[in-house]
Amino acid sequence: MLKPDEICAADVPPGVLWVDARPRADWIRTGMPGSILWNLDPAEDAQQLEAEAVGRILNHAEVVVYCGDESCGTSRQVADRIRSLGLGVRVRVLFGGWRSLGL
Protein backbone atom coordinates (compact mmCIF):
# COMPACT_ATOMS: atom_id res chain seq x y z
CA MET A 1 0.00 0.00 0.00
CA LEU A 2 1.13 3.50 -0.78
CA LYS A 3 1.63 6.05 1.95
CA PRO A 4 -0.51 9.18 1.57
CA ASP A 5 2.35 11.20 0.05
CA GLU A 6 3.57 8.48 -2.35
CA ILE A 7 2.78 8.08 -6.02
CA CYS A 8 3.40 5.25 -8.49
CA ALA A 9 5.33 6.03 -11.66
CA ALA A 10 2.29 5.22 -13.83
CA ASP A 11 0.19 7.82 -11.99
CA VAL A 12 2.57 10.79 -12.23
CA PRO A 13 0.76 13.53 -14.15
CA PRO A 14 2.45 15.54 -16.89
CA GLY A 15 4.04 18.82 -15.92
CA VAL A 16 5.45 17.82 -12.53
CA LEU A 17 8.91 18.88 -11.50
CA TRP A 18 11.11 15.87 -10.85
CA VAL A 19 13.54 16.24 -7.93
CA ASP A 20 16.42 13.78 -7.95
CA ALA A 21 17.68 12.98 -4.45
CA ARG A 22 20.42 10.62 -5.65
CA PRO A 23 24.13 11.45 -5.83
CA ARG A 24 25.11 14.04 -8.44
CA ALA A 25 26.89 11.48 -10.64
CA ASP A 26 23.69 9.40 -10.88
CA TRP A 27 21.60 12.48 -11.64
CA ILE A 28 23.97 13.55 -14.41
CA ARG A 29 24.08 10.06 -15.90
CA THR A 30 20.44 8.96 -15.62
CA GLY A 31 18.32 11.74 -14.16
CA MET A 32 14.84 12.39 -15.49
CA PRO A 33 14.93 14.98 -18.27
CA GLY A 34 14.24 18.41 -16.79
CA SER A 35 14.81 17.20 -13.23
CA ILE A 36 16.68 19.14 -10.60
CA LEU A 37 19.20 17.84 -8.10
CA TRP A 38 18.52 18.10 -4.39
CA ASN A 39 20.30 15.51 -2.31
CA LEU A 40 21.73 15.25 1.19
CA ASP A 41 25.33 14.59 0.20
CA PRO A 42 27.58 16.44 2.68
CA ALA A 43 29.98 17.21 -0.18
CA GLU A 44 27.27 19.32 -1.86
CA ASP A 45 26.49 22.95 -1.02
CA ALA A 46 23.12 22.41 0.65
CA GLN A 47 22.20 26.11 0.56
CA GLN A 48 22.95 26.36 -3.14
CA LEU A 49 20.94 23.22 -3.95
CA GLU A 50 18.00 24.58 -1.98
CA ALA A 51 18.16 28.05 -3.53
CA GLU A 52 18.30 26.65 -7.06
CA ALA A 53 15.49 24.21 -6.32
CA VAL A 54 13.13 26.77 -4.82
CA GLY A 55 13.30 28.92 -7.94
CA ARG A 56 12.23 25.98 -10.09
CA ILE A 57 9.69 24.57 -7.61
CA LEU A 58 7.76 27.84 -7.52
CA ASN A 59 6.98 27.42 -11.23
CA HIS A 60 5.18 24.10 -10.67
CA ALA A 61 2.05 22.95 -8.89
CA GLU A 62 3.45 19.51 -8.07
CA VAL A 63 6.84 18.01 -7.30
CA VAL A 64 7.82 14.34 -7.32
CA VAL A 65 10.99 13.40 -5.44
CA TYR A 66 12.87 10.18 -6.17
CA CYS A 67 16.02 8.45 -5.01
CA GLY A 68 17.54 5.10 -5.96
CA ASP A 69 14.89 2.73 -4.64
CA GLU A 70 12.11 2.52 -2.08
CA SER A 71 14.47 1.72 0.80
CA CYS A 72 16.68 4.75 0.18
CA GLY A 73 14.81 7.21 2.42
CA THR A 74 16.57 10.27 1.04
CA SER A 75 13.62 11.16 -1.16
CA ARG A 76 11.33 11.32 1.87
CA GLN A 77 13.79 13.56 3.73
CA VAL A 78 14.07 15.91 0.74
CA ALA A 79 10.27 15.92 0.31
CA ASP A 80 9.84 16.81 3.99
CA ARG A 81 12.33 19.66 3.58
CA ILE A 82 10.44 21.02 0.57
CA ARG A 83 7.15 20.85 2.49
CA SER A 84 8.72 22.67 5.44
CA LEU A 85 9.46 25.65 3.18
CA GLY A 86 5.73 26.27 2.71
CA LEU A 87 5.95 26.91 -1.02
CA GLY A 88 2.35 25.92 -1.71
CA VAL A 89 3.13 23.01 -4.02
CA ARG A 90 2.05 19.41 -3.72
CA VAL A 91 5.06 17.24 -2.87
CA ARG A 92 5.07 13.49 -3.43
CA VAL A 93 7.61 10.71 -3.14
CA LEU A 94 7.98 8.26 -6.03
CA PHE A 95 7.14 4.78 -4.78
CA GLY A 96 9.99 2.43 -5.66
CA GLY A 97 12.37 5.26 -6.50
CA TRP A 98 14.25 5.65 -9.76
CA ARG A 99 14.15 1.90 -10.38
CA SER A 100 10.37 2.03 -10.70
CA LEU A 101 10.72 4.27 -13.76
CA GLY A 102 12.19 1.39 -15.76
CA LEU A 103 14.77 3.59 -17.45
Instruction: Give Cα separations from 72 to 1, 34, 48, 98 (angstroms).
Output: 17, 22, 23, 10
Within-domain flag for 53: yes
Structural domain contains residue 15: yes
Residue 1 lies in a domain: no
For residue 43, give its domain range.
6-101
| Number of structural domains in the chain | 1
Residue 99 has pLDDT above 90, yes or no: no
Q: Which CATH number characterizes residue 65's domain?
A: 3.40.250.10
- Which tops the pLDDT comparison, 10 or 101? 10
Within-domain flag for 34: yes
Q: pLDDT, tens digit, for every residue of 36-82?
A: 999 999 999 999 999 999 999 999 999 999 998 767 789 999 999 99
Strands (E), the chain: 6-7, 17-20, 36-37, 62-66, 90-94
Model confidence at 103, pLDDT cuts 50, 70, 90, reads: low
What pLDDT is recorded for position 1? Answer: 83
pLDDT grade, residue 23 (50/70/90)?
A: very high
93 closest CA partner among 62, 57, 66? 66
What single-letter DSSP state applies at residue 98? Answer: G
**What pLDDT digit, counting tens, does each position of 4-15 carry?**
999 999 999 999
